[in-house]
Amino acid sequence: MKTKFLAIILLFIGFYSCQKADDPIVTPPPPNPKPKDSVVVTLPDSVISVSIDGTKSSYSIPTTFQGLSYEMDLPINDPAFLNTRNTILVQLLKNLGTGVLRFGGNMSDAVTWSSTPRSTSTPAKTLTPTEIDNLSAFAKAVGWQVIFGLNMGTYNPTLAANEASYVVNSFQSNLMDLQFGNEPDGYHSWNPLRPSTYAEPDYEIQWNSYLTAVRGLVPNVPLAGPDVAYQSSWVASFALNEASNVNLLSAHYYQNSNTTSTTVASLFTPIPQYTDYFKVINGATMNTGVPWRITECNSINNGGKYTVSDTFGSTLWGLDFMWQVAINNGQGVNFHGGDAGAYSPIVFYSQNTTVRPLYYAFLAFKYGTDNSIIVPTTINGTPKYKCSAYSCKKVGSVSPVITLINKEFTQTLTFKIQLTKNATTLHIARLSAPSISATSGVTFCRSSVNSSNGTFQVGATEDIAVGGLSTFYVTMPAASAAVVTVE
């Protein structure tokens, strides 16, 4: 009896070890020996056990979840970028479906509004109707909504109201929200626009002055705030006091600081100031009913860092980050960038528009979440390796779409997926690159962006029969991700 059972165990181990690296491993039911013959088979610690409860659902993922964020002086300094004539950029955004453009940043508190169209005599750092109309035309061309920031660094409610009136009339239905000021929790410190004693109540006093002035000219304009850098307590206080005046709570997020010691590995170790950040902000949403969004974010602050922010590591981080926001009830993210910044997902340099590796995180997220509801997904135990697993299901479907992320640089991981219903077929779309530090050669579902026109078409998925089992294995090479559609 013992000999026969040992043979069965060896057969199982042989079956497991002979699978190709890119194929799932389908496990037959284990033998059921008598108690006196029981043997415990321990799977390697590189096998990550994931449970997915398809009978339950959580938050919905909005179709406008994905977004981009730009400094307010970009349309002034480089008007050819966010322009309807930039057909490659228009196509790159259309690849992602609907989304949200956000215009703000530190420069929104530095530029001055002028109601006179741009001319050769227009002063530097001046925003005019010329830029607003160009941005409005661009937003309408790509079909994206817009969050627009007004200057509150230089306190002038009357001038801000005049600008707001023009913005509303130009953007019309494409305007999602106006915001007052950028990162006001830094006005007293790193961005010294106020006294050192400036605190959240002081911001609210000034914010309400802007509210009165703006709504005096455009009574029903939608508003968001407080657009903080990292002080989640400001969001909670602002939400309680201004819930009736806003339809969106906004905050920023940068995974790490831009220092000489920051490496690709730093992307997977967030700085301490963001501990429980999403939970606190979502708590404000739960208390007031006002949804929240990360309106500015990226891998590293202050423009990002070359050899880090422009690598495939940022792709894996970006995909994981979007999911973290989604499972905490966030309504979306706006990745900050510019025409050629290190962390820009889309680059405009020498009049050429190209994508960086981070753009592929957008493609994978859209592919894996479009029109979906989040399904509870649990990694069992405490894995030895850095990895993530998320899942959702299309509206009207009961089958999950699973996103798996292996954040290890050299270790292949195998995900043991346990469902609440049997599966027949897997369709695997992989996100990969030559290495985690690669700055090119990224593919999603065996395809890459067409550099000549910005189009993207997914290739053929890996289609694998799993024989009607509720448990199956998917092997993930080091530094890779995959979207697994289950039938």
Every domain of the chain and the residues it spans: 2-58+373-486, 67-343
Q: What is the pLDDT along the chain (487 residues), one digit of tens a residue?
A: 444 443 433 333 343 433 444 444 444 444 444 444 444 556 789 999 999 998 888 999 999 999 999 999 999 999 999 999 999 999 999 999 999 999 999 999 999 999 999 999 999 999 999 999 999 999 999 999 999 999 999 999 999 999 999 999 999 999 999 999 999 999 999 889 999 999 999 999 999 999 999 999 999 999 999 999 999 999 999 999 999 999 999 999 999 999 999 999 999 987 788 889 999 999 999 999 999 999 999 999 999 999 999 999 999 999 999 999 999 999 999 999 988 889 999 999 989 999 999 999 999 999 999 889 999 999 999 999 999 999 999 888 889 999 999 999 999 999 999 999 999 999 999 999 999 999 999 999 999 999 999 999 999 999 999 999 999 999 999 999 999 999 9
Residue 42 is predicted with a pLDDT of 61
Residue 395 is predicted with a pLDDT of 85
Close Cβ partners of 350 (under 8 Å, ≥ 6 residues apart): none
Alpha helices in 65-199 (DSSP H): 74-77, 87-94, 129-142, 157-171
Phi and psi torsions of 4, nearest 5°:
-65, -40
Rounded Cα gap, residues 261 and 66, in angstroms: 30
CATH fold group of domain 67-343: TIM Barrel (3.20.20)
- Answer whether 0.85 is exceeded by the pTM: yes
∠ CA 179-181-186, nearest 5°, is 135
Residue 339 is predicted with a pLDDT of 82
Rounded Cα gap, residues 66 and 171, in angstroms: 19
Tokens matching residue 404? 């798996």
CB count in 10 Å sphere of residue 94 = 17
Close Cβ partners of 477 (under 8 Å, ≥ 6 residues apart): 21, 22, 406, 412, 432
Rounded Cα gap, residues 273 and 256, in angstroms: 10
Residue 21 is predicted with a pLDDT of 41
Residue 178 is predicted with a pLDDT of 99
Judge whether 2-58+373-486 and 67-343 match in fold.
no
CB count in 10 Å sphere of residue 390 = 26
CATH number, domain 2-58+373-486, options 2.60.40.1180, 2.30.40.10, 3.40.50.300, 1.20.1530.20: 2.60.40.1180
Residue 91 is predicted with a pLDDT of 98
Rounded Cα gap, residues 408 and 405, in angstroms: 9
Show the beta-strand stretches assigned E in 222-332: 223-228, 248-256, 292-300
